[in-house]
Amino acid sequence: MNETCKISVTELMNIFRGAMLSIIPWLEKAKIPWKDGQAYDDWDNILDALYKNIVCSSLIGEVSVASEYAIARYNFHYDNYSKVDFILIKSEEYDNVELAFVAFASELSPFDGIKVAVIKDNSVVEYLVLPQKGIEFIYVKNATSTKEFISEIDILL
């Protein structure tokens, strides 16, 4: 019998952020830049693998043999979110604004901010960096004609 446990999308994203933070000392030893404006392809490839394997595979419920998931890629800028699943940001400060997660950003300390795309009528109108405090992450599935909002998922143990 397979056992499952429930996990919030917010906790899943915090696990991803924690994994990012945990490898910083090792990246520095390997002389791989990770800071905004200094990072390059090696860092992007590492984050892409972490995001796909921690976030995407958990949300989809399986590991993709293909290199792509239907979920918006980490730190990728889309013009329109109508045909891609994404992580929605809920923030009290931006209560009536649709915000899509783009990446974690470093403001005062590593990955203490969240880069978001501000969406209006499915199109990106601007990008902002928000503080991490008081943020909730929600998975938005756009596969059907209506959006499905998922705040908690089952993880197979």
2-54: per-residue pLDDT in tens?
A: 788 899 999 999 999 999 999 999 999 999 888 877 777 889 899 999 999 99
* C-alpha distances out from residue 132 to 18, 32, 41, 62, 95, Å: 13, 25, 25, 28, 15
Residue (of 150, 157, 115) closest to 8 by Cα position: 150
Phi, psi of 49 (to 5 degrees): -65, -45
Phi, psi of 28 (to 5 degrees): -65, -40
48-104: per-residue pLDDT in tens?
A: 999 999 999 898 875 555 556 689 999 999 999 988 999 999 998 898 999 999 999
Confidence of residue 155 (pLDDT cuts 50, 70, 90): confident
Q: CA-to-CA distance for 18 and 126, rounded, in angstroms?
A: 27
Q: Which residue has the higher pLDDT, 134 or 136?
A: 136
